[in-house]
Amino acid sequence: MCGIVGAIAERNISNVLLEGLKRLEYRGYDSAGLTVIRDGQLHRERQVGKVQALVDAVNNDAENFKGNIGIAHTRWATHGEPAQHNAHPHVSGKVAVVHNGIVENYKPLKDELIKKGYTFTSQTDTEVVAHLIAEAYKDTKDLLKAVELIVPRLHGAFALGVVHVDNPDELITVRLGSPLVIGVGIGENFIASDQLALLPVTNRFMYLEEGDIAMVKRDSIEVFADGQPVERAITELDAKHHNADKGEFKHYMLKEIYEQPDAVARTLAMGIDATDLKADFLASHEAELAKVKHIQVLACGTSYHAGMVAKYWFESLTKLPCSVEVASEFRYRNPVVVDDTLVVCLSQSGETADTLSALRETQRRAKSGEIKGMTTLSICNVATSSLVRETEIFIPTLAGVEVGVASTKAFTTQLAALMLLVLKVGKVQHRIDSDVLSSIVTDMHQLKGYLDRSLALDQSIANLSQMFEAKKSTLFLGRGMQFPIALEGALKLKEISYIHAEGYAAGELKHGPLALVDKDMPIVVLAPRDSMLDKLKANMQEVHARHGELFVFASENSELESDERMHVIHVPEVCEYLAPIVYSIPIQFLSYHVAVMRGTDVDQPRNLAKSVTVE
């Protein structure tokens, strides 16, 4: 989604802005732009396509882009096609604005501004904001006051960066529903949608609250909420978990696949010692967890698939009912949430608008007394995100920064964190047998080894992936805890290789999708040796009989071997509960290699964004 970077300093800031935009590329965008104030003028450049096109254009006119204050933006089109005239910053006279999010009521505001004589050069909602500020400034002659006056008129969720030619020592920023962080330097300060953009210039950050408006100067930051000055703490980040370098890998996605054994082990280590849960794991929340009668998982996309696995775990290990729903549906269907529900929100970014609004809807209903005894918990990869700040309990996934749009290590670490939660709730409520718990914990200690061995499948899956290159469609099948992994396999393949793919519970095959099966349809099957294997083998026979080509990821002891129309890749055998984590690796490799072969943009697939901050 859109990315904002802004800077005010004694030095020339155009390279800080451009480097910041490059570091936000992972969010997904279709055009980029920047403006700096120099010699009492706004110098603006905007380009459709990659940030590099903007870098080249700015470098061609480097003298004019030397400035001490500026704002920059990557745009992910919502209102108006990806085009230069729609790219940010948008300018009204001496005001320039960059914007992330949506101004829902832009149409009546635009009509009002047209009546006042303003002309519009774009189809965006953002241009309305620039004109409104310019109009308010006519009276206030004070940029902060002008912004404070117009913000209440804007409906929606958004973040803004604003500069004005007559105020070259003031950078104004607003956070209202979209992420925005202030980077604190020495004699210079910065703003960005994500701290990642600013790591080359600072590791000290101030996280704004929703509704905050900040006046950022070179040597001061003042934050206002409802017009009153407020204090916001400065957090120092440990840079070692924020290394966003590709290293020797060709793509971030590949690097992130390879980071999983360590990331999963690190996440599990938060909660386990030799054969049991650590005594201090979620110790301060035992009272809330002890009264939970129902679990409601809310998430989107890949995170939703992690939630689906957790449903199998919760219900089979603790016998507590668990519902899982995509946040965008839950939010609007007026769902029943029973008393004493633990609402578990899963998100890599912690800024996903759908997940946040579903959470807020449950909180609104709890506050009104409609739901009693509700507790909220987030499992998230960004400790400073909105989701974490708005939930009562937080379990971090220690994946480190994930840059590839296709989520990999964030997914498997979510699974690791979810299993810790299942065990904790089971233990606190005496719902899980201590031998079962200790056997799962023992297996968790071996998981890193199994994941390392799964990485060794890289080359054989790369060889297999050639057979998918020219295909139009693929089915992924799994049963039980592997069904969500089949869904995840299909999502991964479609999002980065653009091959249509569907995930199915294998038992559903004969209820419809079998009609698609012929010799041209590759069918990927997840076949660990578990309680469902015999049933799954019968489903595979149904495919075989219709000349479908099977690609089977199976346990070493599954007694499945390759034949003419069945390609078997052996995956390390692991206990049934942890198998979804291990089987995630082959499906990630498969989608990765198919995408590389098809020449798609693996790390930034078309039309997608890493942090989906609009509903």
Binding site for ligand F6R (CB under 6 A): 300-303, 347-349, 352, 355, 406-407, 491, 495, 612
Is residue 610 part of the annotated active site? The answer reads yes
Tokens of 43: 């110098």
Report, in Å, the least distance between residue 387 CB and ligand F6R: 8
Selection from 521, 518, 528, 515 nearest residue 569 by Cα: 528
Report the distance separating Cα 185 and Cα 202, nearest Å. Answer: 6
Q: How far is the CB of 421 from ligand F6R (least distance, A)?
A: 16
Kindly state the smallest distance separating residue 28's Cβ from ligand F6R, in Å: 10
Toward ligand F6R, which CB reaches closer, 54 or 327? 327
- From 311, 492, 494, 610, the catalytic residue: 610
Measured from the CB atom, the residue of 307 and 522 that comes closer to ligand F6R is 307
Residues 76 and 98: their CA atoms lie apart, in Å, by 12
Query: Are the beta carbons of 54 and 84 closer than 8 angstroms?
Result: no
Do residues 25 and 192 touch, judged by C-beta distance below 8 A?
Answer: no
Maximum Cα–Cα distance for the chain, whole Å?
Answer: 80
Least Å from the CB of residue 353 to ligand F6R: 9
State which residue, 195 or 352, has the beta carbon closest to ligand F6R. 352
Residue nearer to ligand F6R on the CB measure, 158 or 592: 592
Of 2, 300, 345, 380, which one is the catalytic site residue? 2
**Cis peptide preceding 89, ω within 30 of 0:** yes
Show the tokens assigned to 348: 């890599």
Helix, strand, coil fractions of the chain, as percent rounded to 5: 40, 25, 35
User: Which alpha helices (DSSP H) does 4-50 contain, by range?
Assistant: 14-23
Residue found by looking up tokens 């999708």 in the block: 513
Residues 32 and 62: beta-carbon distance below 8 Å: no
User: Could you tell me which residues are beta bridge partners of residue 71?
Assistant: 6, 35
Q: How far is the CB of 304 from ligand F6R (least distance, A)?
A: 7
> What residues form DSSP beta bridges with 70?
7, 36
Nearer to ligand F6R among residue 161 and residue 301 (C-beta): 301
**In whole angstroms, how close is the CB of 487 to ligand F6R at the nearest point?**
11
Q: How far apart are CA 193 and CA 324, in angstroms?
A: 29
Q: How far apart are CA 338 and CA 482, in angstroms?
A: 28
Which pair of structure tokens corresponds to residue 126?
């953002």
Identity of the residue, 86 or 385, whose beta carbon is nearer to ligand F6R in the bound complex: 385
- Residue number of the CB atom closest to ligand F6R: 301
Active site residues: 2, 610
